[in-house]
Chains A and B, each alone.
Chain A
Amino acid sequence: MYDVIVVGGGHAGCEASLACARLGKKTLLVTGNLNNIADMPCNPSIGGPAKGIVVREIDALGGEMARNTDKASLQMKKLNTKKGPAVWALRAQADKITYPKEMKKTLEHTDHLTLRESLVEDLLVEEDTIKGVMLEDGEKILAKAVILTTGTYLKASILVGSNKKQEGPHGEKASRFLSDKLKALGFRILRLKTGTPPRIERASIHFEETKLEEGSKDNLTFSYDSKTATATTLQIPCYLTYTNAKTHQIILDNLKKSSMYGGYVKGVGPRYCPSIEDKVVRFHDKERHQLFLEPESLFYDDIYVQGLSSSMPEDVQEQIVHSIKGLEDAKILKYAYAIEYDAIDAKQLKQSLETKLIKNLFTAGQINGTSGYEEAAGQGLIAGINASLKLDGKEPLILKRNEAYLGVLIDDLVTKGIKDPYRLLTSRAEYRLLLRDDNADLRLRDYGYQIGLVDEERYQRFCQKKKDIADVFEILKKERITPKEEVNAYLEEIGSTPLQAGLSLYELLKRPEMKMEHLLKLVKLPFDEAVLNEVEIEIKYEGYIRKAEQEAKKMLHLESMKISEDIDYEKIPNLASEARQKLQEVRPTSLGQASRISGVNPSDIAILSIYIKRGNYESN
């Protein structure tokens, strides 16, 4: 008898099982192939806009992805640095051998965690409560909670042109029955599709024909606790090339041969990640499309061609690849493919990621309709935490939209549901100014510590940082700078108005042209860069940050107006018909959540709000 069984060893499954085991739960991780734990079947990178911030959030809460990436990074970049701090984000090229290897090592060295190779084909359910799982050979394993992180493996089929195989990535066995069992339990099943580009042999590429794309030379790390990352010393570059008119012609000539355009695919593909066929068809006036050549590992020769996702048959893929500059003689090691898989309608989940239908059954990752390693890992962590909290009889951890991208992600999923695979984007976060790369620890580390995933040593380091930030604020507000000759000379040099009278350092830094680096030329502030950086952002963007906080406050007010579980929407007069139907489907827990359901308009919220208030009044 286990406390928790985690089904699936991808990024969601790893975080979920680590969280449970670290919280003292006797945990079993069941996965189809132990050699594929934390596999990266698509792009060899982790992070990017919004996603990179999720990795930081995972770290702040005590998850593994950030630390593991720091052990396996080939190259690191800080993106969007010319834009405001709200959208800065880290991205690593990660080694596809090292990353899984390091993750597996961590799993194997974690107490209370057992790994087992098998496929789960049924769930044991009694009285709407999960009791365990049944393996493909019929063996039953009991547990108090189960977390499904099945990725793309539910009824997976791989498509290349008209060729369709019932299997998961790498030819792995797919789970054939589990999705039917879920359907029988009342889950609405969606068919989704995603795809991946071809891999080509490094030695066959004419790199001199492409543009070099190097990473950052700085010592960038994902984890707040890593001292360095492997990328700092490795500095492995990527390369950039483009499609051209010839490529596009080949694609158009062969369009009907692709799985998508030939009508072989039923699943809905992601909008943000179109295949090269889609790009050429939808944006036919575009002369070229960018392709990044990314190394997959130090230990083998595959180069990932980012931008060339396709479901064309192999011979057409050959033609496409060879039409591209630098790839004329390229040898394809692995053809691009589309993959179809089953997912559940995430509107059937609570904000804790527990299913509404079956008690103690949680789901995380691609089964919930997301795509991306980071989105999966984040959900896995939250599902692991909440399964453990539930077994301890505690309230779940539900991050709000103003607290974390993870909050935005989960709220979007359970409130709006999805039509195509969901990817996090900065534009999905209405309070993104509060959800920055620099402050994920300030937002979330207390939660991680309280739950028990952040140990004392890491927490003390964080407390020191918090104290330092407060100290720097204090100094800047208290200390004044006087119009001395050398001060004014420097100010003029950087294009700032000379001082007439004394000014606090805080006020000086408020000047639009003034930066922390300038201030450091005038005064000594012996603190960490991260600390100074944090203070600078808080001061420079104070107006915008306050405004975002005000907005968040309004949202939190709506959020605090709870909707009782047994509300009957049929009984509320004057609701628009569409709103009534959507509310019935999602059954939001608060007025705030209700307001985010598409098809529920402000007038419906007003009506609902009056109804709730009156209800409260009457019951009092």
Chain B
Amino acid sequence: MEDTICAIATKLGVGAISIIRVSGRDAISKVNALFEGKNLEEVESHTIHYGWIKEKEEVLDEILVSVMRAPKTFTREDVVEINCHGGILATKSVLEALLRTGIRMAEPGEFTKRAFLNGRIDLAQAEAVMELIESKNDTAKRLALSALQGSTTNLVKDFREQIKQVIASIEVNIDYPEYEDIEQMTEEKLEKLLEDLQAKLEEIILQSKRKQQLKNGIETAIIGRPNVGKSSLLNHLLEEEKAIVTSIEGTTRDIVEGDVNLDGISLHILDTAGLRETEDVVEKMGVEKSKQILKKAQLVFFLLDGSKSLQEEDKKMFSSLEDEKTILVLNKKDQGIKIKKSDLPFSHVVVTTTKTKDGLDELKQEVKTMFQQDEIQENDAAILFNARQLALASQAQEKLKEAKCALEEGVELDMISLDLQEILETLGEITGENYQDEILDTLFANFCVGK
């Protein structure tokens, strides 16, 4: 990390101002060499200054420059931020002048990497920065921000702390066997503790998976018999939210796949072939394929023509739909609804007229209810937010199960402690921590032992 690096921190060519960020040992002196105004090497840290960028007597831009000295900066190195005029030419000329002083162009993510290597953020936070840059919707952004502030780190830390406490109370009985005043860990107590830990981890994993869905977009399928209004529902969703739709020309028919943004919830509409055609999906794709789609989907809109009575074929479909992820849409309200809600084995039923958008708001509300959007907005909860973190948590969960089985089989507490230490290590990988000395610290902080 000897080099000083720079990069344009804002989107090139968009907006009235562009920011160029410079970080590294020579950040201040090198920018100062190009700067006409105060001597930046002498100004106080975390101050902003007006001046000009000049190279060989040629004025390149009028700028504001922020000087931030290590260690209280994003990278923990000296950082200079140059606010120059937006527009490709002005920004690029300043950037190029910087590069000519020997400052190197930063690689993608290099500022974050430096923050990580200099110990300002941990692994989970570094991942959060990446997520933040890539986030596609509000939910994703909020989750990433909250993780950057340390929520994921703290979530893991808190959980590991609890495991450490359990380990310490087993270990203290081993190293100080005759201290009867110390609470003795017993099989019964440990079983209870393991159950608690299991339940907590289960909850963390569940919540994380759920919110990951929201972040990545909920895999959604729209199905129903021909002419029930599938394509108009899709069109409404797409048009209203100005969603990004990619329409790929298939070999024999149109395939539609696209993202729909519903007040912060992304729906990822799955390739339910022939959606724009008036053909029966089940018939066209074959039963196997449609089952696969239904299995993959996290949300299913099942459309019925409400003005006609229930068909045998529809009833057959009911059994292959899971209630908790299905919204049954009774369409064509304008023509009079003939199907009774009570005849339908589903908890989520919405009545619409897709032709006039009647009932669409109710449908959106139903989606939000199903995915607990309200709860998430309030509680921008700490979650594990990528596949790596989740995989580690699941591994830990598996090991926790094994430990509990072993305990039930009569394996001694000190052996279960070894299982727990393994779990601690696995979870520590989420934030990149080592556990080696942590247990001893916990042990001596909590127990009064020794001659």
A197, CB-defined interface residue at 8 Å:
yes
Q: Chain A residues near B437 (CB, 8 Å)?
A: 416, 598
Q: CB within 8 Å of A: which of B156-204?
A: 171, 173-181
| Residues B451 and A290 in contact, CB atoms below 8 Å apart | no
Q: CB within 8 Å of B: which of A23-71?
A: 42-43, 49-50
Mask of A405-427 contacts with B, CB within 8 angstroms, 1/0: 00000000000100000000111
Write the chain A residue with the least CB distance to B437.
Answer: A598
Q: Chain B residues near A83 (CB, 8 Å)?
A: 173-174, 412-414
Q: Chain B residues near A49 (CB, 8 Å)?
A: 174-177
CA distance A512 to B412 in the complex (A): 11
Q: CB within 8 Å of B: which of A296-321?
A: 306-307, 309
Q: Chain B residues near A548 (CB, 8 Å)?
A: 418
Q: CB within 8 Å of A: which of B82-116?
A: 113, 116
Q: Chain A residues near B448 (CB, 8 Å)?
A: 274, 279, 282-283, 286, 289
B450, CB-defined interface residue at 8 Å:
yes
Q: CB within 8 Å of A: which of B401-445?
A: 409-415, 418, 421, 429, 432-434, 436-437, 439-440, 443-444
Kindly state the interface size class of chain B when it binds its partner.
Answer: 35 or more
| Residues A272 and B117 in contact, CB atoms below 8 Å apart | no
| Residues A427 and B413 in contact, CB atoms below 8 Å apart | no
CA distance A574 to B451 in the complex (A): 46
CA distance A193 to B297 in the complex (A): 66
Known: A427-B443, A577-B118. A87 touches B178 (CB 8 A): no
Known: A83-B413, A598-B436. A271 touches B178 (CB 8 A): no
Write the chain B residue with the least CB distance to A305.
Answer: B451
Write the chain B residue with the least CB distance to A294.
Answer: B451
CA distance A163 to B245 in the complex (A): 84
B133, CB-defined interface residue at 8 Å:
no
Give the number of chain A interface residues (Cβ < 8 Å): 54
Q: How far is the CB of B219 from chain A (nearest CB, A)?
A: 34
Q: How far is the CB of B226 from chain A (nearest CB, A)?
A: 56
A270, CB-defined interface residue at 8 Å:
yes
Known: A427-B443, A602-B429. A513 touches B450 (CB 8 A): no
Q: Chain B residues near A527 (CB, 8 Å)?
A: none
A138, CB-defined interface residue at 8 Å:
no
| Residues B171 and A426 in contact, CB atoms below 8 Å apart | yes
Q: CB within 8 Å of B: which of A306-339?
A: 306-307, 309
| Residues A43 and B451 in contact, CB atoms below 8 Å apart | yes
Q: Chain B residues near A273 (CB, 8 Å)?
A: 450-451
| Residues A574 and B1 in contact, CB atoms below 8 Å apart | yes
| Residues A286 and B181 in contact, CB atoms below 8 Å apart | yes
Across the interface, A86 reaches (CB within 8 A) one of B116, B181, B414, B434, namely B414
B344, CB-defined interface residue at 8 Å:
no
Q: Chain A residues near B282 (CB, 8 Å)?
A: none
Q: How far is the CB of B5 from chain A (nearest CB, A)?
A: 13
A506, CB-defined interface residue at 8 Å:
no
| Residues A602 and B414 in contact, CB atoms below 8 Å apart | no
| Residues A80 and B174 in contact, CB atoms below 8 Å apart | yes
Q: How far is the CB of B343 from chain A (nearest CB, A)?
A: 53
Across the interface, A576 reaches (CB within 8 A) one of B118, B176, B414, namely B118
B449, CB-defined interface residue at 8 Å:
yes
B119, CB-defined interface residue at 8 Å:
yes
CA distance A541 to B119 in the complex (A): 41
Q: Chain A residues near B436 (CB, 8 Å)?
A: 430, 596, 598
| Residues B415 and A86 in contact, CB atoms below 8 Å apart | yes
Q: CB within 8 Å of B: which of A532-583?
A: 541, 544, 548, 573-578
| Residues A426 and B174 in contact, CB atoms below 8 Å apart | yes
CA distance A577 to B76 in the complex (A): 11
Q: Chain B residues near A603 (CB, 8 Å)?
A: 116-117, 123, 432
Across the interface, B410 reaches (CB within 8 A) one of A274, A286, A512, A598, namely A512
A488, CB-defined interface residue at 8 Å:
no
| Residues A289 and B119 in contact, CB atoms below 8 Å apart | no
Known: A427-B443, A541-B415, A574-B1. A270 touches B450 (CB 8 A): yes
CA distance A598 to B434 in the complex (A): 8
Q: Chain A residues near B443 (CB, 8 Å)?
A: 427
CA distance A602 to B436 in the complex (A): 12
CA distance A433 to B448 in the complex (A): 26
CA distance A433 to B113 in the complex (A): 39
Q: How far is the CB of A47 from chain B (nearest CB, A)?
A: 12
Q: How far is the CB of B114 from chain A (nearest CB, A)?
A: 9
Known: A84-B415, A282-B448. A425 touches B175 (CB 8 A): yes
Q: Chain B residues near A432 (CB, 8 Å)?
A: 418
Q: Chain B residues near A426 (CB, 8 Å)?
A: 171, 174-175, 414
| Residues A427 and B175 in contact, CB atoms below 8 Å apart | yes
Q: CB within 8 Å of B: which of A388-447?
A: 416, 425-428, 430, 432-433
Q: Chain B residues near A84 (CB, 8 Å)?
A: 411-415
Q: Chain A residues near B429 (CB, 8 Å)?
A: 602
Q: CB within 8 Å of B: which of A134-184?
A: none
Q: Chain A residues near B180 (CB, 8 Å)?
A: 290
A205, CB-defined interface residue at 8 Å:
no
Across the interface, A288 reaches (CB within 8 A) one of B178, B181, B412, namely B181
Q: Chain A residues near B173 (CB, 8 Å)?
A: 83
Mask of A262-296 contacts with B, CB within 8 angstroms, 1/0: 00000000111110000100110010111010000
Q: Chain A residues near B179 (CB, 8 Å)?
A: 290
Across the interface, A80 reaches (CB within 8 A) one of B123, B177, B450, namely B177
Q: How far is the CB of B177 from chain A (nearest CB, A)?
A: 5
Q: How far is the CB of B191 from chain A (nearest CB, A)?
A: 16
CA distance A274 to B448 in the complex (A): 8
Q: How far is the CB of A192 from chain B (nearest CB, A)?
A: 15
Write the chain B residue with the least CB distance to A242.
Answer: B181
Q: How far is the CB of B368 from chain A (nearest CB, A)?
A: 40
Write the chain A residue with the least CB distance to B122.
Answer: A601
| Residues B450 and A274 in contact, CB atoms below 8 Å apart | yes
Write the chain B residue with the least CB distance to A286.
Answer: B448
CA distance A283 to B117 in the complex (A): 38
| Residues A87 and B181 in contact, CB atoms below 8 Å apart | no
Across the interface, B440 reaches (CB within 8 A) one of A306, A307, A427, namely A427
A79, CB-defined interface residue at 8 Å:
yes
Across the interface, A427 reaches (CB within 8 A) one of B174, B177, B181, namely B174
Mask of B40-73 contacts with A, CB within 8 angstroms, 1/0: 0000000000000000000000000000000000
Q: CB within 8 Å of A: which of B106-143?
A: 113, 116-119, 123
Q: How far is the CB of B283 from chain A (nearest CB, A)?
A: 53
Mask of A575-610 contacts with B, CB within 8 angstroms, 1/0: 111100000000000000000101001110000000
Q: Chain B residues near A282 (CB, 8 Å)?
A: 448
| Residues B432 and A601 in contact, CB atoms below 8 Å apart | yes
Known: A602-B429, A602-B434. A79 touches B177 (CB 8 A): yes
Q: Chain B residues near A428 (CB, 8 Å)?
A: 440
Across the interface, B178 reaches (CB within 8 A) one of A82, A292, A573, namely A292
Known: A50-B175, A425-B175, A428-B440. A87 touches B117 (CB 8 A): no
| Residues A87 and B118 in contact, CB atoms below 8 Å apart | no
CA distance A43 to B450 in the complex (A): 11
Known: A427-B174, A427-B439. A87 touches B450 (CB 8 A): no
23 contacts between A and B (CB under 8 A): A82-B412, A83-B412, A84-B411, A84-B412, A197-B451, A272-B449, A272-B450, A283-B448, A289-B181, A289-B448, A426-B175, A426-B414, A433-B418, A512-B409, A512-B410, A512-B411, A541-B415, A544-B411, A544-B415, A574-B1, A598-B434, A598-B437, A601-B434
Query: Told that A84-B415, A427-B174, A598-B434 touch, could you supply 9 new A-B pairs with CB distance under 8 A?
Result: A83-B174, A86-B414, A87-B414, A270-B450, A433-B415, A512-B411, A544-B411, A576-B116, A576-B117
Residues of B within 8 A of A (CB): 1, 113, 116-119, 123, 171, 173-181, 409-415, 418, 421, 429, 432-434, 436-437, 439-440, 443-444, 448-451
Residues of A within 8 A of B (CB): 42-43, 49-50, 79-80, 82-84, 86-87, 197, 213, 242, 270-274, 279, 282-283, 286, 288-290, 292, 306-307, 309, 416, 425-428, 430, 432-433, 512-513, 541, 544, 548, 573-578, 596, 598, 601-603
